[in-house]
């Protein structure tokens, strides 16, 4: 059983910062790409940032130069540091990882349960 658990969401004023973390646990063979997605009320879930197993990153245009994604392969964690937050960043943020469970050769996408980020104006 593989699990992703996010933490670090909350309420912050516009211009503030937050750091989200996501930890993968369970019977993990290897972790490939990891990423953060978000879903605002009434909108579709969208990609925020991704990072490969060797540290290559990509960002949505709306968060470039404000958010930084990083990972710790030894701890099976991925983080999202968010600066200069805007009210439009308000959403539930989800962690996703492509993982090969122990004892298999197949990759699967796993999602966390989500953490709420609310930015007040």
Q: Any idea what DSSP says for residue 90?
A: -
Q: How far apart are CA 4 and CA 113, in angstroms?
A: 8
Q: Are 89 and 80 in contact (CB under 8 A)?
A: no
Q: How much is the pLDDT for 106?
A: 96
As a whole-number percent, the residues of the chain with pLDDT over 70 amount to 100
pLDDT bracket for residue 33 (50, 70, 90):
very high
What backbone phi and psi angles, to 5 degrees, belong to 15? 90, -10
Q: How far apart are CA 13 and CA 31, in angstroms?
A: 34
Structure confidence by residue, pLDDT tens digits, 53-64 = 999 999 999 999
Q: Which two tokens stand for residue 25?
A: 């646990």
pLDDT bracket for residue 70 (50, 70, 90):
very high
pLDDT bracket for residue 28 (50, 70, 90):
very high
Q: How much is the pLDDT for 81?
A: 98
What backbone phi and psi angles, to 5 degrees, belong to 88? -75, -5
Q: How much is the pLDDT for 114?
A: 97
Q: How far apart are CA 64 and CA 66, in angstroms?
A: 5
Sequence-ordered strand ranges (E) for 40-114? 46-51, 57-59, 67-72, 77-82, 91-101, 108-111
Q: How much is the pLDDT for 64?
A: 96
């Amino acid at each position: 059983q593989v699990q992703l658990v996010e933490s670090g969401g909350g309420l912050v004023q516009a211009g503030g910062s937050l750091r989200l973390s996501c930890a993968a646990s369970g019977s993990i063979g290897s972790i490939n790409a990891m990423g953060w997605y978000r879903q605002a009320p009434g909108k579709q879930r969208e990609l925020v940032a991704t990072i490969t197993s060797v540290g290559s990153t990509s960002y949505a245009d709306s968060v470039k130069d404000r958010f930084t994604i990083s990972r710790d392969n030894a701890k099976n964690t991925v983080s999202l540091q968010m600066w200069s937050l805007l009210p439009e960043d308000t959403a539930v943020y989800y962690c996703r990882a492509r993982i090969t469970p122990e004892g298999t050769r197949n990759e699967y996408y796993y999602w966390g349960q989500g953490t709420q980020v609310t930015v007040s104006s």
